[in-house]
Amino acid sequence: MLKRSGFNNDKLKRIHRKEILFNTSELEAIDSYCKRYRVKNRSKFVREAVISKILQKFDNDHPKLF
């Protein structure tokens, strides 16, 4: 793997595991979405969906001056 200067790969390693359970209809919705939009990596898809929702919430909750 190529190393870039100023880029710490150790911070980006995924070492913490979280498990999530879906009911049947939720899993069917995810499967349908992945099939329709040709999502190949479901782990990446779920991770990005969760993180984007969290970042969106942080932006909305940010204190505003006016």
Q: Where are the domains of the chain?
A: 22-66
- Rounded to whole angstroms, how far apart are CA atoms 37 and 39? 6
- Distance between alpha carbon 50 and the CA centroid of its chain, in Å? 4
Q: What is the pLDDT of residue 10?
A: 80
Whether 40 and 48 have beta carbons less than 8 Å apart is answered as: no
* Percent of the chain clearing pLDDT 90 (strictly above): 65
H/E segment holding residue 36? helix 24-36
Residue 45 burial (10 A CB sphere; 0-12, 13-18, 19+): middle
Q: Quick check: 17 pLDDT over 70?
A: yes
12 pLDDT band (50/70/90 cuts)?
Answer: confident
Q: Is the pTM of this model over 0.85?
A: no
pLDDT of 49: 95
Provide the pLDDT for residue 24: 98
